[in-house]
Structure 1
Amino acid sequence: MSGSTGSGIDRLSTSDFRRLASFIENYSGIKMSSNKRTMVEGRLRKRARALGLESLSEYCRTLFEDGGMVGEAINLIDAVTTNKTDFFREIPHFQFLADHVLPQLAGGDIRIGIDVPLKVWSAACSTGAEPYSLAMMLEEFGRQIRGFRFSVLATDICTEVLAIAREAIYPETMIAPIPDALRRSCLRRSRDKDRSLVRISPALRGKVSFGRLNLMDDSYPVDKDMDVIFCRNILIYFDRPTQEAVVRRLVGHLKPGGYLFVGHTESMAGFTLPLRPVASSVFQKR
């Protein structure tokens, strides 16, 4: 088989891996180092089979020489994207949101959430645990304030995870981080007792909208008046110039005084951006 080793296992040639890695980085910003080669091979074998192709070398030839990239780019990016997510991941962020950000926004001259709806964007939302966690937190906060209104926009580059997020059905093993009170008010258990599944309540699902968005694009089709943006644990996959360019575009969609949350291992050090740190990996737009 073309592209195979003597062991019969289909492998990527060095040149094909380099071509794929270059395309993936240019398209999505995600760096594909050589230690990810085995992972890429395993995931792209499935894509090759789905297209009826016999080998990874034929898959690469189809993409790069036969014009197949036009129809396959989104599937390729879906295949190689790693999507790690949990409900209420990095819980101090949600605590800071509830204890400091929301009271401050709701207590200003223009009461955000009361006079005008609060607008939150979860970028790189994966299968939806983050935006639904945000919606649960906002719903809980809103119980204390009559007429509190909010919406959550959730975006990701991967169409497969967006489909899961819209369905909003999760295994019970995922819900342990959700506080009991929120489980009771925001989750619905499967009527089939043999299926250990829960679904986000219809009311909460109605507060969250999903769309595909590539953070590497030069501009984003997103409102410019976001109050809070969560973009966590995706910047680590980009080099520093790309990180700064992405954050600069994100900040362009944030209101003055709005808040940006990044992952705890992600740093804004050295970036010339209109942001001031207010907590660990939390920044406010000047």
Structure 2
Amino acid sequence: MSPDQQLDRKTFERVRGLIHQRAGIALGDSKQAMVQGRLAKRLRALRVDSLPSYLDQLDGNPQSDEWQHFTNALTTNLTAFFRESHHFEHLAQQLRLAKGQDLFRIWCSASSTGEEPWSIAMVVDEVGQQGPRKVEIMATDIDTQVLQTAAQGIYQLERIEGLSVARRQRFFLKGQGPKLGRCRVRPALLKRVQFQQLNLLSGRWPIEAPLDVVFCRNVMIYFEKASQRDLVRRFAALLKPGGHLYVGHSESQFHCEDVLDLVERTTYRRRAP
């Protein structure tokens, strides 16, 4: 990396301010090296000489498509199939308790590359006729690149090694020939999830109430406490009484006891009004 592309403290603070303003992400001091490495790729792609010049271009054009690339570059996407499996066990219970219900609606609000929404879809499929008559799964993320990966449902085989043989055979197709070493979610499962881009900190969400379940796991840790509390209250407002919110293992203490009850580890239930 050339000297002009080095990320000094002043420029890092500027990046922190821009990504917080744009996406609500609070970058910690330890993220400076990560930011430098990821933005250097954008500079090379655009043939921009320096980080301050790149940021000037962003500041000068609020509607530029580059803002999405900037956001994508600084978004962390760590996920796995059936990560924090107790949530999926609880979801299966709720689906069975809703047997005969006309419509059961689930929002996966930070879908990343798709492992979470496809895990949800697998649970829905496994419960089958023992659950609601119809289940709607909506999956969103701020990062358009990971959403594209999620919607395609194509993964390296090692990504599904943690699944049982039965689940691998039931829900995935193995690639052949030039696609050897990869797998794809089966078409029947692909139809179960609707994907769209969404910024959780935007003023308006294209998500309608009432919802039965909201997944928002391991994303709020990147937001400030005030933003976390606001998000949780907005989720609660969309949930029907008795609906559930699943959060990540490092996320708690939202001070929303008036609207949500902690019923299990990182599992909250909407209180009746």
d(CA) in 2 for partners of 1:228 and 1:68? 35
What's the offset of the Cα at 1:74? 1.1
Is residue 2:171 matched to residue 1:186? yes
From the superposition, tell whether residues 11 and 199 of structure 1 become closer, same or farther in structure 2 (CA, over 3 Å): same
**Percent of aligned positions that are identical:** 37
CA RMSD of aligned residues (A): 1.9
In the alignment, which residue of structure 2 is the partner of 1:11? Answer: 6
From the superposition, tell whether residues 278 and 185 of structure 1 become closer, same or farther in structure 2 (CA, over 3 Å): same
Native 8 Å contact 1:219 1:249 kept in 2 = no
What's the offset of the Cα at 1:201? 0.6
5+ residue gaps, structure 1, are none
- Give CA-to-partner distance per residue, 1:119-157, whole Å, 9 cap, x none: 111011000000000000010001546x83212100000
Is residue 2:228 matched to residue 1:243? yes
| SS of the residue 2:229 aligns to | helix
| SS of the residue 2:105 aligns to | strand
| SS of the residue 1:87 aligns to | coil
What's the offset of the Cα at 1:194? 6.5
In the alignment, which residue of structure 2 is the partner of 1:164? Answer: 149
Native 8 Å contact 1:248 1:273 kept in 2 = no
* Equivalent residue letter for 1:223: E
User: Match for 1:79 among 73, 83, 87?
Assistant: 73
In the alignment, which residue of structure 2 is the partner of 1:42? Answer: 37
In the alignment, which residue of structure 2 is the partner of 1:52? Answer: 47
- Give CA-to-partner distance per residue, 1:229-276, whole Å, 9 cap, x none: 111011111121110011111222211211111112210452354111
- Give CA-to-partner distance per residue, 1:2-41, whole Å, 9 cap, x none: xx53xxx721232222111011112222111222111111
d(CA) in 1 for partners of 2:41 and 2:198? 24
Give the count of matched residue pairs.
271
User: Match for 2:57 among 62, 71, 86?
Assistant: 62
From the superposition, tell whether residues 57 and 192 of structure 1 become closer, same or farther in structure 2 (CA, over 3 Å): same
What's the offset of the Cα at 1:50? 1.7
TM-score (ref. length: structure 1):
0.89
d(CA) in 2 for partners of 1:73 and 1:216? 16
In the alignment, which residue of structure 2 is the partner of 1:139? Answer: 125
In the alignment, which residue of structure 2 is the partner of 1:253? Answer: 238
TM-score (ref. length: structure 2):
0.93
Native 8 Å contact 1:128 1:164 kept in 2 = yes
In the alignment, which residue of structure 2 is the partner of 1:123? Answer: 109
d(CA) in 2 for partners of 1:126 and 1:282? 20
**Structure 1 residue ranges (4+ consecutive) displaced by more than 4 angstroms after TM superposition:** none
